[in-house]
C-alpha cells in the first residue's frame, strides 16, 4: 500500500472547480426547427452555491485495480472521526481522513485480504456489534459470499452463503445493525441476520427482477426497500408486514446446530409497487429522497421521481400506478454502468462521478429542485472512471475511488 510521494499526493498539479448553470443534460440538441429563445424571469436563474470544494490529497493502492466501493463509517463519524473502507480486487482497505497542521490527509489503518485471490469485492457496508459496540464490516462481490469482518479482531468471523452468483450491493437496515440486505446477479435480494447467519427473506421470483439486481436502498425507518437492476425495473418492497417482522424476530432465536429443520425463510415473490417507465437502460443506483426517489441509469442523467401522482398520499398509491418525474439532473461522460451517486447525511448535497474523473455536485438546499446549482470538480491527474463517492456527515469532506486504484479527497470551502 502506497500513499505516493508528497509531490504526487498534494496540490502540485492543477485542480479545478467550476460552476455550471446549464439546465439540460449532456446530450446533443435534437435536429429540426430552431427552438425560440425563452426569456428568463427575474430572480429565477440559478445562483452559485455558497460553498466550493478544493483538492486536498490522494493515495494510490498498489494493486492498481478498480475500486468499486467506498463507504464512510457513520457510527464513529459521530465521534469526530472519518473512517472509511475501500473495496477492490480481493482487498478491503480501511483508512482515516485526518486533519493536521499541514492540512488534511488520508492515513492507512488496516487491510483485509481475502484468501481467494480470484475474489473481487464490489461492495462494503458498515455496522456494529450490539454487545460491545465495536465496528463490523460486511463485504461481498464476485463469489457471492458475504464476509462479516470485526475489525478489532483482525479476522472475518462469519461467511454467509446463499446467493447463486455475484453480490452487487450491501445495505444494513437502519437501527437494525444485524439485518443486512444483499442485491445479487442471481435476480434476487436477500435479507440476512448476520448474528445467526440466517436468511430471513428472499425478494424475487414470479414478479421480481428478471436480470441482475444492481442497487438497493432502505428508508430511514427501515419499513420500505427499493431495488433496481439490469431489467430497467424499479421495485418497492415493504418490510413492515407482520410475517416479515415475525421472521426477523424468529431469526434471533434460531440455532442451526440445535434444529433439525432449516429456518423457514420468507419468499416474497410480488413487489408492492413496480415501474419500468423511468429509465430505458440498466439502473445501477437508487436512493430514497424522502418520499421521492433518485435513480441513475447509463443515459447521462439522474432522475428525481415519485411513485404515483405528485401530491398523492402514500396510502393512495396502488401497485399498478405509474410514477411522476420531478427533475432530471444532467450529466456528461456518465454512460457506463456501476457508477454510484451519493448524499451527505441531511440530503442537501448530491454528488456523482463520471468515466473521465470529473465530479458533479448539486446543492439541493434550494426552494425548488429544478434550480439546484451544480459544481464540476476535476484534477489533471484524475482521468479514470469514478465508481463511488462518499461524503462526511456535514458534507465538508468528499472522498471517491477510481478505476486505477486511487482514492481522492476534496474539502469544502466557503466562497462568501
Q: What is the CATH number of the domain that holds 241?
A: 2.130.10.10
Domain count, the chain: 1
Assess if residue 22 is contained within a domain: no
**Would you state the cell numbers that stand for residue 29, as one nine-digit string?**
440538441
Q: Which residue has the higher pLDDT, 152 or 207?
A: 207
Q: What is the pLDDT of residue 100?
A: 78
pLDDT at 45 over 70: no
Through-space distance between the first and last CA atoms of the chain, rounded to whole angstroms: 39
Assess if residue 178 is contained within a domain: yes
pLDDT at 7 over 50: no
Assess if residue 35 is contained within a domain: no
Tens digit of each residue's pLDDT (9 = 90 or more) over 47-65? 677 789 999 999 999 999 9
Tens digit of each residue's pLDDT (9 = 90 or more) over 270-309? 999 999 999 999 999 999 999 899 999 999 999 999 998 8
Residue 189: strand pairing partners: 183, 203
Q: List strand residue ranges (DSSP E) for 46-175, in order.
A: 51-60, 67-72, 82-88, 91-100, 103-113, 121-128, 135-141, 146-150, 158-160, 167-173
Tens digit of each residue's pLDDT (9 = 90 or more) over 63-92? 999 999 999 999 987 778 999 999 999 999
Q: What is the pLDDT of residue 108?
A: 96
Assess if residue 165 is contained within a domain: yes
**Would you state the cell numbers that stand for residue 208, as one nine-digit string?**
421480481
Tens digit of each residue's pLDDT (9 = 90 or more) over 369-396? 677 888 999 999 999 999 999 999 999 9
Assess if residue 12 is contained within a domain: no
Which residue segment(s) compose the domain that 393 sits in?
Answer: 47-414
Q: Which contiguous run of DSSP H or E holds residue 377? A: strand 374-379
Amino acid at each position: 500500500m502506497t500513499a505516493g510521494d508528497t509531490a504526487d499526493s498534494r496540490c502540485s498539479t492543477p485542480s479545478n472547480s467550476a460552476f455550471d448553470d446549464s439546465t439540460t443534460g449532456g446530450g446533443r440538441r435534437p435536429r429540426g426547427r430552431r427552438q425560440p429563445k425563452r426569456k428568463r424571469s427575474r430572480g429565477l436563474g440559478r445562483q452559485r452555491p455558497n460553498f466550493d470544494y478544493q483538492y486536498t490529497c490522494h493515495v494510490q493502492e498498489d494493486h492498481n485495480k478498480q475500486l468499486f466501493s467506498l463507504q464512510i463509517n457513520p457510527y464513529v463519524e459521530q465521534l469526530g472521526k472519518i473512517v472509511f473502507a475501500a473495496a477492490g480486487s480481493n482487498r478491503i482497505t480501511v483508512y482515516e481522513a485526518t486533519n493536521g497542521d499541514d492540512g488534511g490527509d488520508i492515513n492507512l489503518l488496516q487491510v483485509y485480504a481475502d484468501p481467494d485471490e480470484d475474489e473481487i469485492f464490489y461492495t462494503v457496508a458498515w455496522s456494529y456489534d450490539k454487545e460491545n459496540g465495536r465496528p463490523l464490516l460486511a463485504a461481498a462481490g464476485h463469489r457471492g459470499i458475504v464476509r462479516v469482518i470485526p475489525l478489532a479482531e483482525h479476522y472475518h468471523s462469519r461467511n454467509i452463503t446463499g446467493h447463486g452468483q455475484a453480490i452487487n450491493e450491501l445495505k444494513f437496515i437502519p437501527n437494525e445493525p444485524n439485518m443486512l440486505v444483499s442485491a445479487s446477479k442471481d435476480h434476487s435480494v436477500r435479507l440476512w441476520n448476520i448474528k445467526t447467519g440466517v436468511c430471513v427473506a428472499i425478494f424475487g421470483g414470479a414478479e421480481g427482477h428478471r436480470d441482475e439486481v444492481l442497487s438497493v436502498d432502505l428508508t430511514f425507518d427501515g419499513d420500505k426497500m427499493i431495488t433496481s437492476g439490469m431489467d430497467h425495473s424499479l421495485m418497492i418492497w415493504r418490510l413492515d408486514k407482520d410475517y416479515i417482522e415475525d421472521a426477523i424476530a424468529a431469526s434471533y432465536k434460531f440455532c442451526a446446530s440445535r434444529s433439525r429443520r432449516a429456518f423457514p425463510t420468507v419468499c416474497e415473490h410480488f413487489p408492492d409497487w413496480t415501474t419500468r417507465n423511468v429509465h430505458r437502460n440498466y439502473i445501477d443506483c437508487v436512493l430514497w429522497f424522502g418520499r421521492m426517489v433518485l435513480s441513475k441509469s447509463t443515459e447521462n442523467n439522474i432522475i428525481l421521481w415519485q411513485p404515483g401522482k405528485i401530491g398523492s398520499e402514500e396510502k393512495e398509491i396502488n401497485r399498478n400506478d405509474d410514477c411522476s418525474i420531478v427533475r432530471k439532473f444532467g450529466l456528461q461522460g456518465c454512460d457506463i454502468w456501476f457508477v454510484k451517486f451519493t448524499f451527505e447525511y441531511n440530503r442537501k448535497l448530491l454528488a456523482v462521478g463520471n468515466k473521465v474523473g470529473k465530479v458533479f455536485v448539486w446543492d439541493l438546499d434550494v426552494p425548488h429542485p429544478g434550480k439546484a446549482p451544480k459544481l464540476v470538480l476535476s484534477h489533471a491527474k484524475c482521468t479514470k472512471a469514478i465508481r463511488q463517492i462518499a461524503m462526511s456527515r456535514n458534507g465538508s469532506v468528499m472522498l471517491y475511488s477510481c478505476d486505477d486504484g486511487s482514492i481522492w479527497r476534496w474539502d469544502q470551502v466557503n466562497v462568501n
